[in-house]
């Protein structure tokens, strides 16, 4: 029931109101935390996991930022519902894979959330529209402080926050921005840029983070290290790298439409519009590629029958588990493709 | 185009992936695309961890016998899984871990904030207990000529002594 409500209400990041939302879909701040007296999840007994879950729920119910939050235990959910939470980027594949004593707490408009008993006992997350890492950091920090009132986190002045995997130790902070880079992709300039990010100790991933699959020219850019710099320094570093990428993308978009390739780009965009508004069967990946071109057209001020908000909403609603949640039943890939096409036609006709 | 995986069927799907900050493309048939895992199989971090065993001043025979005083996890087990067992693993494995953190982050020192309740030991008794534990570890590190580890412990002791609760 709570999930059907989530399906109807819009999540904050989809609303396309944040700074630079034309190229930065969303920003995300994640903090890894563990309880000091409990064994880490990978070696914990079911009983220990249950105890952690209970303590975290207890502290979260008293935390002001979680007023009105949904407390979802994964064990009580269907496989499709867990997939739905993955698609909304509220839980990881790892959390969904082992639902017993796993949970997610989701705050209003899905800005703040906490995964419980993932690799670390708590994974705090703050997500919103556009490039807004600093604001999200403040929200995540406030949630961290509120939860620390009721929980004793594993930390030490030398090592910082103690995490199950040393790659997250110290700040436990992962800052990321989901950027849309269609022009750089079209021009074949992505690889040298991503390599450059690697040298700055930054990582590029596909839209779902953990995986590496690139869909619809969307790239998730994040810090690769978490220790040795302060949170403010990491914020500065990631924001600067993302701004640099965005500036390159925008320059290239402008030169694409002024140069000899204008007709080629126009052709791509109007073909995309044609397919999205007329197809009878369409996969998620194909949908994303066409939505990507329409997004680029919008940012160039071209007249296409769509808004950023509508495109963001479609990016979410066209996902496999979302299609099935709307249909309220499990569907074959062919049936999903059919319903996806119907959804797109309806949206583009309106 | 023929599928690059089975080299038999017609390729229908162009799979784009990022591997080590590089976008790669592969043409696959529907069947092979279904079989591929969405997540990368090899964990780059585990490779780093495996590679660490024979490198630098930390010799394998020294790390192999290490066990966490808190949860009993062995360092060898940690090298297999890449996951520590509890908060005390950090101090128990501080020599090799410090080196590993250096390789991952370019630093083994936290420079950020700490969640409010855990900034320093809450009371004098806990502080004294922590000091005693650190001094024992320091003595052991010096005896075994693990000087980097000893220096880190000494810093930690100084910081803790300077802290007024």
pLDDT tens for B17-74 read 777 777 777 788 877 877 665 444 445 566 666 555 444 444 555 677 889 999 999 9
Q: Give the burial class of A49: count Cβ atoms within 10 A of its Cβ; 0-12 exposed, 13-18 middle, 19 or more buried.
A: buried
pLDDT for the residue numbered B47: 61
Using CA atoms, how far apart are residues A284 and A336, in angstroms rounded to an integer? 9
- Report the mean per-residue pLDDT for chain B: 77
CB pair distance less than 8 Å for A93 and B38: yes
Assess contact for A318 and A343: CB atoms under 8 A: yes
Percent of chain A having pLDDT more than 90? Answer: 83
Name residues 202-241 of chain A within 8 A of B (Cβ): 203-206, 208, 210-215, 219, 225-231, 233-234
Q: How many helices (H) and strands (E) does chain B have?
A: 8, 2
Burial A213-230 (b: 16+ CB within 10 A, else e): bbbbbbbbbbbbbbbbbe
Interface list for A 145-174 with B (CB within 8 A): 145, 147-149, 151-167, 169-171, 173
Q: Percentage of chain B with pLDDT > 90?
A: 22
Considering only alpha carbons, which residue of chain B is nearest residue A215? B16
Cα A178 to chain centroid distance, Å, stands at 7
- Written as six digits, the tokens of A262 are 């204008």
B66-116 confidence digits (pLDDT tens): 899 999 999 999 988 999 999 999 999 999 999 999 999 999 999 888 876
Burial class (CB in 10 A: 0-12, 13-18, 19+), A79: exposed
**Chain B CB contacts of A157 below 8 Å:** 110, 114, 119-120, 156, 159-160
Give the three-state DSSP class for A34: coil
Distances (CA, A) of A265 to A171, A188, B16: 43, 14, 21
Best probe of the B interface among A51, A227, A282, A289, by most B CBs < 10 A, is A227
Note whether B22 contacts A230, CB cutoff 8 Å.
Answer: no
Residues B111, A164: C-beta atoms closer than 8 Å: no
End-to-end CA separation in angstroms for chain B: 70
CA–CA separation, A89 vs A25, rounded Å? 13
Partner residue opposite B87 with nearest CB, options A34, A190, A208: A34
Distance CA A237, CA A180 (A): 19
- SS3 call for A27: strand
Cβ within 8 Å of B, A 74-93: 93
- What pLDDT sits at residue B27? 83
Residue that has been written with the tokens 């083994």 in this structure: B108
Q: Which pLDDT score, from 0 to 100, does residue B120 have?
A: 52
If you ran DSSP here, which 8-state letter would residue A19 be given?
A: T
Nearest CA-CA distance, residue B143 and chain A, Å:
23
Structure tokens at A205: 């991933």
CA neighbor of B120 nearest in space, from B88, B74, B160: B160
**Residue A124 three-state SS:** strand
What's the token pair of residue A164?
């199950």
Comparing alpha-carbon positions, the chain B residue that sits nearest to A233 is: B112
Residues A146, A64: contact at Cβ < 8 Å?
A: yes
For residue A253 the two structure tokens come to 């978009």
CA dihedral of B102, B105, B111, B112, whole degrees rounded to 10 = -150
Task: Give the C-alpha separation, A254 to A265, whole Å.
Answer: 11
Chain A residues 297-316 with CB within 8 Å of chain B: none
The whole-angstrom distance between B17's CA and the closest CA on chain A is 4
Q: Quick check: A225 and B40 CB within 8 A?
A: no
Q: What is the pLDDT of residues A238-254, one digit of tens each?
A: 999 999 999 999 999 98
* Beta bridge pairs of residue A332: none
Give the span between the Cα atoms of B21 and A141, in whole angstroms: 29
Phi, psi angles (nearest 5°) of residue A127? -130, 140
Nearest residue on chain B to A167, alpha-carbon basis: B104
List, for chain A, all residue ranges whose pLDDT scores fall below the cut of 50. none
* A82 three-state secondary structure: helix
* Binary contact (A155, B114; C-beta < 8 A): yes
Facing residue for B110 by CB, picked from A39, A40, A158: A158
Residue B29 near residue B5, CB atoms below 8 Å: yes
**What mean pLDDT do residues B140-157 have?**
83
Predicted structure pTM score:
0.84
CA A345 to chain centre: 26
- Which residue is closest to A151 within chain B, CA to CA? B117
Q: Is the dihedral of CA B82, B86, B87, B93 positive or negative?
A: negative
The C-alpha atoms of residue A287 and residue A272 are separated, in whole angstroms, by 9
């Amino acid at each position: 029931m709570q999930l059907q409500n989530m399906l109807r209400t819009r999540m904050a990041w989809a609303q396309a109101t944040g700074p630079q939302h034309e190229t930065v879909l969303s920003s995300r701040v994640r903090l890894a935390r563990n309880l000091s007296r409990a064994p880490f999840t990978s070696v914990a007994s079911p009983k220990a996991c249950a105890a952690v879950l209970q303590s975290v729920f207890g502290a979260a119910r008293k935390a002001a930022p979680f007023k009105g939050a949904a407390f979802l235990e994964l064990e009580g959910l269907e496989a499709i519902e867990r997939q739905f939470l993955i698609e909304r980027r509220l839980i990881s594949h790892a959390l969904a894979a082992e639902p017993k004593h796993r949970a997610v707490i989701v705050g209003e408009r899905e800005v703040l959330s906490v995964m419980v008993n993932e690799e670390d006992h708590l994974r705090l997350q703050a997500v919103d529209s556009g490039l807004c890492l600093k604001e999200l950091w403040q929200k995540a920090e406030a949630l961290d402080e509120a939860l620390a009132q009721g929980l004793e986190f594993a930390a030490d002045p030398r090592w910082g926050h103690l995490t199950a995997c040393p790659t997250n130790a110290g700040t436990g902070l992962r800052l990321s921005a989901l950027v849309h880079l269609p022009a750089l992709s079209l021009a074949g300039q992505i690889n040298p840029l991503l390599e450059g990010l690697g040298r700055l100790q930054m990582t590029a991933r596909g839209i779902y983070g953990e995986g590496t699959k690139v869909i619809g020219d969307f790239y998730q850019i994040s810090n690769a290290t978490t220790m040795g710099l302060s949170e403010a320094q990491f914020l500065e570093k990631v924001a600067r790298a993302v701004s640099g990428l965005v500036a390159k993308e925008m320059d290239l978009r402008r030169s694409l439409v002024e140069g000899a390739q204008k007709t080629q780009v126009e052709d791509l965009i109007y073909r995309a519009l044609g397919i999205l508004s007329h197809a009878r069967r369409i996969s998620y990946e194909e949908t994303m590629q066409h939505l990507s071109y329409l997004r680029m057209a919008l940012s160039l001020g071209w007249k296409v029958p769509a808004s950023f908000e509508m495109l963001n909403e479609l990016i979410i609603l066209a996902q496999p588990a979302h299609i099935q949640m709307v249909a309220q039943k499990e569907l074959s890939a062919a049936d999903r493709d059919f319903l996806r096409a119907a959804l797109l036609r309806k949206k583009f006709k309106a | 185009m023929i599928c690059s995986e089975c080299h038999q069927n017609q390729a229908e799907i162009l799979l784009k992936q990022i591997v080590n900050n590089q976008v790669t493309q592969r043409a696959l048939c529907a069947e092979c695309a279904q079989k591929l895992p969405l997540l990368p199989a090899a964990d780059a971090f585990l490779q780093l961890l495996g590679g660490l065993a024979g490198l630098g001043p930390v010799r394998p025979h020294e790390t192999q016998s290490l066990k966490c005083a808190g949860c009993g996890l062995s360092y060898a087990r940690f090298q297999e899984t890449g996951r520590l067992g509890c908060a005390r693993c950090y101090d128990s494995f501080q020599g090799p871990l410090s080196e590993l953190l250096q390789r991952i982050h370019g630093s083994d020192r936290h420079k950020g904030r700490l969640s409010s309740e855990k900034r320093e030991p809450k009371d004098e008794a806990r502080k004294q207990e922590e000091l005693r534990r650190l001094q024992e570890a320091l003595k052991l590190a010096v005896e075994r000529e693990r000087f980097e580890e000893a220096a880190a412990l000494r810093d930690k002791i100084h910081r803790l002594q300077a802290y007024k609760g």
